[in-house]
Structure 1
């Protein structure tokens, strides 16, 4: 269970780093709507990350106890993504729609890249042996 919490901390740090970049973009560039959309989507990514970790912990506890678990919160994560897009549609003067969608998927991009980097790292270590 410590592994999931370490991953959570790493992904949270990366999302916070992106959030900082987006805040600087809002403050220092003329593309406020684009960076605000990225920020909005990334905030919903934070929610999705927290929800995913909580469900993974519950799944682990259910497996240890020999129980079944009904779902992994996929519907909740999709609903959060839809909500972020609806906010961007409702306030187009403040949030760019495409950047909001990219911000929502930023968590999944981070998950993919992190997995790819660790896979390559393990392959390199295996070749060195």
Structure 2
């Protein structure tokens, strides 16, 4: 398995953990609207993460074969974010807007934290060497 596939699996696993935490918070706390917004945002963010990982895989394969590739699917990810905002604004009694936006940004935070942790694991040089 390549390093990219390992990284993708690790990021998806962390997103599933965070989704499970949001479901538990929605089911067992008094802050149902906040956790429902967080859950909806994380679900759409997880779908966006899946889309961008698949597009990166396709672009990498096309680059390896010296072919041109299409875009990274920015329009579909923006459409997912727009759908999130429309649903949250249509049903404000069920979803919290700020929590939904934080949930939508969660995959990017997971990607950054995963990069920092993986970078620290792979670089073991000491200062001054």
TM-score (norm 1): 0.90
Q: Whole-Å Cα distance in 1 between the matches of residues 101 and 81 of structure 2?
A: 8
Where do 5+ consecutive residues of structure 1 fail to align? none
C-alpha deviation, 1:42, in angstroms: 0.6
Q: C-alpha deviations, 1:26-60, integer Å up to 9, x for none? A: 11111000000010011011111111111011101
Q: How many residues align?
A: 128
Q: Is the 8 A contact 1:4 1:53 kept in 2?
A: no
Q: Any idea what SS the aligned residue of 2:125 has?
A: helix
C-alpha deviation, 1:11, in angstroms: 0.9
Aligned pairs for 1:1-129 within 5 A: 2-123=2-123, 125-127=124-126
Greater helix fraction, Structure 1 or Structure 2? 1
Q: Is the 8 A contact 1:38 1:102 kept in 2?
A: yes
Where do 5+ consecutive residues of structure 2 fail to align? none
Which segment drifts farther, 14-23 or 74-83? 74-83
Which segment drifts farther, 97-106 or 65-74? 65-74
C-alpha deviation, 1:3, in angstroms: 2.3
